[in-house]
Amino acid sequence: MAQQAPDISQLSFEDALRALEDVVRKLESGEVPLDESIDLYERGEALRMHCQKRLDAAQARIEKIVAGPDGKAKGTEPFDPDGRTGV
């Protein structure tokens, strides 16, 4: 990649998602050399992980907001950082 990419950890969810969409577009075009494709894929995976982390944090915050005074969630499944549901 010719230009210096911003630090992923400093990106907002929206900016990271836009950057991830850009990576996907470039990879899908098939016009990127192999070495650059590998770099793009690695950046895309890091962006995906960053977005997932931000979504998980948002979900945890939402569950805290709807928690009753006893600390138990009302109408939601308990937040599971491993992505499993209560089913």
Q: Where are the domains of the chain?
A: 8-65
Quickly count: other Cβ atoms within 10 Å of residue 16's Cβ: 23
> What CATH architecture is 8-65?
Orthogonal Bundle (1.10)
Burial of 41 (0-12, 13-18, 19+ CB in 10 A): middle
Give helix 13-29 / helix 34-65 axis angle, nearest 10°: 150
Confirm if 55 and 40 have CB atoms less than 8 A apart. Answer: no
Of the two residues 39 and 69, the one the predictor is more confident about is: 39
Q: Give one word for 71, left, alpha or beta, with left for phi > 0 and alpha for psi -120 to 50.
A: left
Q: What is the pTM (predicted TM-score) of this model?
A: 0.68
- Average pLDDT on 62-75 reads 69
Query: For 8-20, what is each residue's pLDDT tens digit?
Result: 999 999 999 999 9
